[in-house]
């Protein structure tokens, strides 16, 4: 028989297993809301904070600090502002980095509030608007679920999970601060306009997922965590997580069925 905590962890894992996405942006309580409603409600997103995960045995434990010794395998990227910047479990953004050109993406979102996670870097936001317009024309209306996430917010979320589950466990489902692509302002989780299956496994195979797989590269976006490349990206398949890299690179990555890791490795050896 699972205890309460075990059940709660299972729920989170189901929602965004090993994800760079959803689980990071939701507390356990919000995940429960998601499961019970099946939809990301405006309220659950608006209130998405780094609040202590609810009703857990460790909820009142003392604050933790995340020790750099546990991230010795990580390099800090030298050009965090580069459009093709590689951010993953081995390459993190500098502690103080905030993108200089964040704007509110002028597209439909699954929530109404004008909050941080509507933001993207300017170039990505412009491309996103064009892509959403094209999807509308094809009668596959899309909605943004979560775009930019500040380093401070990622850190607070991660530390709340560490307090609850310990760092080793937290790392299996939540991105270490500085390693979430959402901190670049170049990534966004996308769903259909009804918000169903937002940032969850059931988005795979939907007409929206198929449309994105076919068309995103034309607007400079890649499906960042493709199926079958888990050992390279470090993430399970996330058909909803798009990363802007610009049309040229997106075209090449899509055509050759690469990951950003593989593309960057090829660039390094050919230069």
Kindly list the residues in this chain that would bind Zn ion in the complex (CB under 5 A): 20-21, 189, 241
Q: How far is C-alpha 199 from the geometric centre of its chain's CA atoms? A: 8
Which residues are 234's β-sheet partners?
none
In the complex, the smallest distance separating the C-beta of residue 56 from Zn ion, rounded to whole angstroms, is: 24
Burial class (CB within 10 angstroms; exposed 0-12, middle 13-18, buried 19+) of 268: exposed
C-beta of 56 vs 187, nearer to Zn ion: 187
How far lies 20's CA from each of 2, 32, 108, in Å?
Answer: 26, 19, 22
C-beta of 23 vs 56, nearer to Zn ion: 23
In the complex, the smallest distance separating the C-beta of residue 15 from Zn ion, rounded to whole angstroms, is: 12
Give the separation between CA 135 and CA 232, rounded to whole angstroms: 30
In the complex, the smallest distance separating the C-beta of residue 233 from Zn ion, rounded to whole angstroms, is: 12
In the complex, the smallest distance separating the C-beta of residue 210 from Zn ion, rounded to whole angstroms, is: 19
In the complex, the smallest distance separating the C-beta of residue 89 from Zn ion, rounded to whole angstroms, is: 14
Q: What is the dihedral of CA 87, 93, 99, 105, to 10 degrees?
A: 40
How far lies 161's CA from each of 9, 62, 129, 157, in Å?
Answer: 10, 13, 34, 7
CA neighbor of 187 nearest in space, from 112, 258, 124:
124
C-beta of 163 vs 241, nearer to Zn ion: 241
In the complex, the smallest distance separating the C-beta of residue 59 from Zn ion, rounded to whole angstroms, is: 26
Cα atoms in the 13 Å half-sphere on the side-chain side of 70: 12
Q: DSSP letter string over 184-209?
A: GT-EEEEEETT-BTTTSGGGTTSHHH
C-beta of 164 vs 241, nearer to Zn ion: 241
Residue 149, classed as helix, strand or coil, is: coil
Q: Are 87 and 181 in contact (CB under 8 A)?
A: yes
Measured from each CB, the residue nearest to Zn ion is 21
C-beta of 20 vs 87, nearer to Zn ion: 20
C-beta of 20 vs 107, nearer to Zn ion: 20
Give the separation between CA 267 and CA 226, rounded to whole angstroms: 20
In the complex, the smallest distance separating the C-beta of residue 123 from Zn ion, rounded to whole angstroms, is: 18
C-beta of 20 vs 77, nearer to Zn ion: 20
């Amino acid at each position: 028989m699972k205890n309460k905590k075990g059940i709660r962890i299972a729920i989170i894992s189901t929602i965004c297993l090993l994800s760079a996405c959803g689980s990071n942006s939701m507390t356990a309580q919000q995940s429960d809301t998601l499961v019970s409603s099946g939809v990301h409600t405006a309220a659950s997103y608006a209130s998405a904070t780094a609040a202590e995960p609810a009703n857990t045995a460790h909820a009142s434990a003392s604050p933790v600090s995340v020790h750099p010794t546990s991230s010795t395998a990580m390099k800090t990227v030298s050009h965090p502002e580069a459009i093709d910047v590689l951010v993953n479990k081995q390459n993190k953004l500098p502690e103080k980095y905030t993108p200089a050109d964040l704007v509110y993406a002028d597209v439909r979102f699954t929530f109404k509030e004008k909050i941080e996670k509507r933001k993207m870097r300017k170039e990505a936001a412009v491309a996103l608007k064009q892509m959403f317009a094209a999807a509308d024309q094809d009668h596959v209306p899309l909605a943004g679920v979560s775009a930019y996430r500040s380093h401070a917010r990622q850190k607070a979320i991660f530390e709340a999970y560490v307090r609850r589950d310990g760092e080793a466990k937290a790392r299996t489902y939540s991105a270490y601060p500085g390693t979430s692509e959402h901190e670049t302002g170049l990534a966004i989780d996308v769903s259909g306009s009804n918000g169903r299956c937002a940032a969850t496994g059931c988005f795979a195979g939907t007409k929206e997922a198929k449309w994105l797989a076919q068309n995103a590269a034309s607007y400079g976006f890649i499906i960042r965590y493709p199926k079958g490349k888990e050992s390279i990206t470090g993430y399970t398949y996330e058909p909803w997580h798009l990363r802007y890299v610009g049309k040229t690179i997106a075209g090449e990555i899509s055509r050759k069925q690469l990951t950003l890791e593989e593309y960057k490795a090829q660039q390094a050896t050919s230069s």
